[in-house]
Amino acid sequence: MRIDILTLFPDTVHAVLHESILGRAAEKGILEINTVQIRDYTENRQCQVDDYPYGGGYGCVMMAQPLKSCLDAVIAESGDRRRRVIYLSPQGRTFTQETAKRLQRDYDQLVLVCGHYEGVDERFITSCVDEELSLGDFVLTGGEIAAMAVTDAVCRLVPGVLSDPQCYIGESHWDGLLEYPQYTRPEVWEGQPVPEVLLCGDHEKIARWRRCQQFRRTREKRPELYEAFQPVDDRDRELLKELSRADRCIRLTEPVSCRPAVESDLPAILRIRDDARENLRRQGAEPGPEIGTEEAVFRQDIERGECRVLLHGDEIAAVFTLSCRPEPSYDSITDGKWTPDLEACILLRIAVSDRYRGSGISDRLMRFAEQETVACGRRCIRTDTHRKDRPMQQLLRDSGFRYRGNLLCDEHGPRRQAFEKIIKLKKQKGTT
């Protein structure tokens, strides 16, 4: 990329643009950034570049002739190129990251014309300029700061200028969002810890968290950008849905407890089951008979003392079944296997009320299931999920479960995904 900046202050502009990253790229020959003194192209003895405006008024206007001669000289010297002549002006279209991408992609020479005083003769703009760009809705004394901003933003997108395209992909404004928050050492600064997720080492989980942060902070800081944002892929669409559900959902302000379900809980349990079925349909998965969530099944779970409800205050927020009995359908695992020689508890019929989706209740549910498994003297939990139920698969992965293979729970139903978690028991103090 070659940039030619036509200015009355070439030394100042040159000094700034030959520092640091751009300076090094210029040294390597990846960029060529020239600054050209407009005054050198005047045709009068005083080297005058401006004159009084016709019709009267304050200040002076830059004359067309020196600008045109300067531009002609640059064009003659640089030869045939994909060139764009840009006049920096408060009247131009606002310069954005999209403009920077377009200029980097479509041209290999930009000629940036910096006005000064009251601006430049309109006839130069109409006959010589391809495009006017503004830095924003305010007025500067000259176009130099704007030209430097355009040069910097465009040049950092030129391959080889930054060490890796990942340095700018995902930054603020790359795809219409602001960047996620960044942290570096130390882990705790002035009592403020780094968000825990960034220390977990799970790259998939970190990527999801960061994308969610991008949505949240764009919505908070730049609502107009958020309104205009178009999801990039299905993952974005899913995360945005989760976010809007989380915003509508209840905050866990009261203690959350877990107890065995009783018969009078059944209406609430069935309502939550309906929410879960509806949610599954939203994922494009038709809940089939293999799911086994008929009323009679819950009744039986309750009678066996295996059905549990999670209470937020007095309200039933979620339900699950934890069984110590062997589950015959789990013997038919395919495309993988369970960890051998382990007695497991089976976690079934996990369902969360729509009102509590995104509230964090699912994480609590997983912790209760784990505690009860340990209380049964086991350290392995097995479960299965609909292959299209991606939020459930994500929850299981986030809770430390590993995919183990597929199950055919019903000979007419689709295969379900099998997950298993081996619980790591924390060492008691004093034990070896």
Ligand X SMILES: C[S@@+](CC[C@H](N)C(=O)[O-])C[C@H]1O[C@@H](n2cnc3c(N)ncnc32)[C@H](O)[C@@H]1O
Q: Which is nearer to ligand X, 133 or 309 (CB)?
A: 133
Q: What angle do CA 189, 194, 198 make, to 5 degrees?
A: 155
**Total residue count of the chain as it appears in this document:** 432
Q: Which is nearer to ligand X, 143 or 391 (CB)?
A: 143
Q: How far is the CB of 111 from ligand X (least distance, A)?
A: 14
Closest CA to 9 of 153, 166, 128, 117: 117
Q: Which is nearer to ligand X, 67 or 269 (CB)?
A: 67
Q: Which is nearer to ligand X, 31 or 61 (CB)?
A: 61
Distance, CA of 43 to CA of 40 (rounded, Å): 9
Q: How far is the CB of 91 from ligand X (least distance, A)?
A: 5
* 318: DSSP letter: E
Q: How far is the CB of 12 from ligand X (least distance, A)?
A: 14
Contact residues toward ligand X (CB under 6 A) are 88-91, 114-116, 118-120, 134-136, 138-143, 146
The three-state secondary structure class of 299 is helix
Q: Which is nearer to ligand X, 94 or 332 (CB)?
A: 94
Q: How far is the CB of 132 from ligand X (least distance, A)?
A: 8
Radius of gyration of the chain (CA): 32
Which residue lies nearest ligand X, judged by its C-beta? 115
Q: How far is the CB of 93 from ligand X (least distance, A)?
A: 10
SS (H, E, C) 78-132: HCCCCEEEEEEEEEEEECCHHHHHHHHHHCCEEEEEECCCCCECHHHHHHHCCEE
Q: How far is the CB of 97 from ligand X (least distance, A)?
A: 16
Q: Which is nearer to ligand X, 25 or 38 (CB)?
A: 38
Q: How far is the CB of 79 from ligand X (least distance, A)?
A: 26
Contact 29, 171 (CB under 8 A): no
H-helix or E-strand spanning residue 237 = helix 234-248
The three-state secondary structure class of 347 is strand
Q: Which is nearer to ligand X, 144 or 389 (CB)?
A: 144
Which stretches of 194-270 are assigned E, i.e. beta strand?
A: 256-260
